[in-house]
Each structure stands twice: as C-alpha cells, then as structure tokens.
A and B are shown apart, each in its own frame.
Chain A
Amino acid sequence: MSEPTSDPPAEAVSEPPGIEPPRVLERSLDRGTLLAIGLRANLLQAAWNFERQQGLGWAFALEPALRRLYPVREERLARLAEHTAYFNTQPTLASIALGAAARVEEERAHGTGGDAASMARLKAALGSTLAALGDRLFWFSLRPFAAAVGVLVAMVHPSHGWGAWALWLVYALPHLALRFGGVGWGYTAGPAMLSGAFRERLERAVRWLALMGCVVLGVALAWALAPGGEPRPIAVQCALAVGLGAGLLTAQGARPSPTRWALAFGLLGLILAWRFHG
C-alpha cells in the first residue's frame, strides 16, 4: 500500500499550472484491522517499563495497520522498530491515539504524510493531551466512583456478589466501549479528535461523576452508621467518625500513602487489643 490508491480527480486538469489539486486519500484500513488494533490495545501495558513505558505495547497494537500499509517486510519492520520508542498515556484513551496514528501512518505510506520525526511529535502531543484528559476522567473520577458504588452495593447486600458486578460494570462498560470504539474515532477524525467538543464532553463527565460520587458516599456513610435502619453501637460509630476525621486530615498530604496510614492504624489497633482485651 505504499503507492497512492486514488488518482487525481478529473477536474484537476483545469487547475492553473503550478497549483497541485488536493489529493483525496482513499481509506485503506478496514473495520477488521481497526478491531484488531482495539483488541491488541488490551496489551498496551503488557511490557510496561520505566524507559519506554507503553512503547512496546503501542507497536504491538499498531502492527495490524502496519502489516496492511507496508507489504514490503523490511519497510514494515523499520516502522515497527520505530514505534517501540517511548510512548505513554492513559491506557483507555490510548485507543484514540492509536486510531489517529494509524491514519497518519496511512498517509505516510501513501507518500502524503510526514516522516519519523513528525510521527514522534504527534505521538508525544497525543500522549500528553490524552493523559491529561484520561487521568482526570478514568483515574480520578470513574475509578473512585465505581469503587464507591461497588462498596455501597456490597454493604447493602453483604451476602451476594452484586457489589462486585456493580463496580465492574460501572467502570468496564465505558472503558471497553472507548477502548474498542476509540480506535475508529481516532482513525476517522485523526489528531483533530482532540478538539473542543470532545474535551468539553469529557470535562462534563468529570464534573457529573464528582457530584454523583458525593451522593453515593453520603448514602454509603449513612448506611455504615445504621445498616438497615438499625444504628450501630456507639463505639462503632465513634470508630467510623475517627476514621473519617483521620482520612480527611491525611488526605491533605500525598505522603505517607493511605495504605501506610491504614497499616499504622491496624498496628495501633492490635496493640490496644492486646493491652485491654485480656
């Protein structure tokens, strides 16, 4: 596929001399290829490392497109090796970057795209922009929201697996939809995908999730204080209040991590149990 797939339009003949008519590029990556990229995007972080981060997974995910675009083996291997270089972004939204990169790679194969350096610049720009959007949406909003919903459902129905289902569905449905759909969107729109409308939609989702998260946490705390309408013993309510206060205080600083604080509370609890319980 290294040759242009479409001839210049017939009207081009009438163009003034010296002005080249715009070339209409025929899209050569079919749905199957885009689906294969989406499937392989699940392994984007398989060989995550400090040096190239998602680089290897990126090249692996893009391979079906490169296989179609570069039938000459040597050329394809050179492109693949190029793509193993550093890349990092939020893993769900990486699909959009993969689609956009497949489109640019297609233009490159047809001789209308840039070179290796421009591809590296594009990857860096897509990676940082999508990371900024995706971290806020998936890591700071959707993941805690899914956890809060899961914990609430598990507290209300402690003898069923509904909490796990709720957590998994709330997160995995949008995650998988974007992972598979994102490749197609990125390919159709190219790097312009990151325009204002898309950003605006994600920002709105972040705000909505934060508000809904506050509601879910309010209900979860009310249920923790009085499960099924039966208020828990005062000692338990006090422990819950102490935990809340400690959590709000320790959340002001990034270190020590919440896990280390929780471990410290655990050890303190054990010491107290040994001291006063026998």
Chain B
Amino acid sequence: MKEGAWLGTLVVGGLAALDGTPVAQTLASQPLVTATILGALWGDWSTALGVGVVLQILAASTLPIGARTPEDYSVGGVVGAGVALTIAGGEPFEQVRQAASLVGVLAGMVAATLGVPLLRWQRRWNEGLARWCERELRAGREGALAESQGAAVALAFAIGLAVTAFWLALARWGAVRIEHESLRLAGAWHLLQPLWLGFGLAQLLHAFVQRRLERAGVFAAALVGAWLVIVAGAP
C-alpha cells in the first residue's frame, strides 16, 4: 500500500507541475486539491488537509502575472503534503502527525521557493526550443511544433516528479529524527498553524479590500454576523 501511495504521490507531483503552467491551468495543482488527492491515496485526510489548507492560503497570494516567476506552489503543495504523509504514515500518536504537518508545511514552502530558479532554468531551456522550432518550420518540418510542445510538457512533468521524489526521500531519511522531536514540533504547530492561517487570510483580505471602506465594512459585517451565527447556533 505504501509503495503504491509513494508512486501515486510522484505521479501527482508530475501532473501538478503540468497543471501549474504548461497544461490547462485549471487550479487542479493548487495545494488544497493535491493535498486532498494525497489524503485519499494515503488514507490520512486530517494530516493532508492540515498541510493543504495552510499552503493553500499562502499560495493564494502568489500570482503568475506577466513574465514574473512566482513560487512554485504546484510542486510545493505536493511536496508539503507528501512529506507530512511520509513522516506520519501509520503513526498512531496525534503529536507525531502534528509534527509531520509542521515539517510538511515548511518543506512545501522551501520547495516552492527553490522551485523559482528551477522554473527559470526550464523557461530558458524553452527559449532554445522555440528558436529550434521556428528554424525547423522555416526549413519545412511541420511536425517540429508538436515535437517542441511535447518536449516542453515532458520536461515539466519530469521536473515535478524528480523534485517530489527528492523531497519524499529526504522525508523518509529524516522521519525517525522528526518523531524524536515530535513534542517540540507539535507545540510549535499549535501556534504556527493559526499564525500562518491569519497571515494568509490577511494577505487575501488586502487583495480584496484594496483600501475601499465599503469592502472593509462588508468584511467586518460578515465576520461579526458569522461569529454570532456560529457561536449562537452551537449546541
């Protein structure tokens, strides 16, 4: 089962790298979606979604505008949930799963940040591919266009898969050490998880409100109204 889950995680890593930019861009590569898929694969929803929600809220304010190369949360999301699930795999203790969630979120963010130079390299490689394609088309080779598209897609998939494999191997290697330190890590998770959540919500709020008073008012009204309904409606 575990081997199947690892293999599935690698494939999800490759597919997420494709959906992120090269193919379709449907947001199926967003951390919450990939974490949900991995949660189903590994049979551990709570660890996967704990990591997925935090990475998702941070990924939401990372935008691929123009020629900017943003942090790669497509692969970062898979790495985050994958690392957490690898460490937590089969552990009965809640604190180990919380420690795994913390390490997963950190690994996801680091992988997303390190993904920037990797994406830049990939895009430079694509420059050569585009020049080659135009040369071949002018020389009369019509198939060059489909070949270069195929090569770019294959490269993106391979990079996503390789990066995920690297991080999963690292998680497997460090799992025992993290279990030893799980008490401290779980303690840190209790404070960092709401802190990251608040941080991400504020970034999103800033994007929506855009210094307009009426939108800030709508947010405040929704917060107070929802609080009253949730607390008053509780059993």
Contacts and interface: CB of A to CB of B under 8 A. Distances in A.
Interface of A: 42-43, 45-53, 55-57, 59-60, 63, 73-74, 76-78, 80-81, 84, 88, 91-92, 131, 135, 139-140, 143-148, 150-151, 154-155, 158-161, 163-164, 167-168, 171-172, 175-176, 210-211, 213-226, 228-232, 235-237, 239-248, 250-251, 257-263, 265-266, 269-270, 272-274, 277-278
A151 B194 contact: no
A196 B41 CA distance: 48
Contact of B152 (A47, A131, A176): A47
Interface in B22-36: 22-28, 30, 32-33, 35-36
B155 to A, nearest CB: 9
Contact of B142 (A73, A135, A257): A73
Contacts of A151: 32, 53, 56-57, 60
- For the complex of A and B, the 5 pairs showing the least CB-CB separation, nearest first, are A229-B234, A247-B202, A243-B198, A218-B222, A147-B60
Contacts of B222: 214-219, 222
A242 B223 CA distance: 17
Contacts of A221: 198, 201, 223
A103 B77 CA distance: 40
B234 A228 contact: yes
Contacts of B134: 81, 84
- Name which of B66, B195, B232, B234 has the most chain A CB atoms within 10 A of its CB: B195
Most buried by B among A52, A140, A230, A247: A247
Contacts of A222: 222-224, 226-227, 230
Given A76-B142, A135-B66, 20 more contacts: A43-B149, A46-B22, A47-B130, A84-B133, A140-B63, A147-B32, A150-B32, A154-B49, A171-B27, A214-B219, A218-B222, A218-B226, A221-B198, A243-B200, A247-B206, A248-B202, A251-B207, A259-B62, A260-B113, A262-B199
B187 A277 contact: yes
Contact of B215 (A147, A176, A210): A210
Contacts of A269: 188, 191-192, 195
Given A49-B123, A56-B148, A151-B56, A259 B33 contact: no
Interface of B: 21-28, 30, 32-33, 35-37, 39-40, 45-46, 49-50, 52-53, 56-67, 71, 102, 105-106, 109-110, 112-113, 123-127, 129-131, 133-134, 137-138, 140, 142, 145-146, 148-149, 151-153, 156, 183-185, 187-188, 190-192, 194-210, 215-216, 218-227, 230-235
A226 B195 CA distance: 15
A146 B26 CA distance: 11
Contact of B127 (A50, A154, A225): A50
Contact of A47 (B142, B148, B233, B235): B148
Contacts of A42: 23-24
13 contacts: A73-B140, A147-B60, A148-B60, A159-B46, A161-B40, A224-B197, A226-B227, A239-B192, A239-B195, A240-B197, A245-B198, A247-B206, A265-B195
Contacts of A74: 140
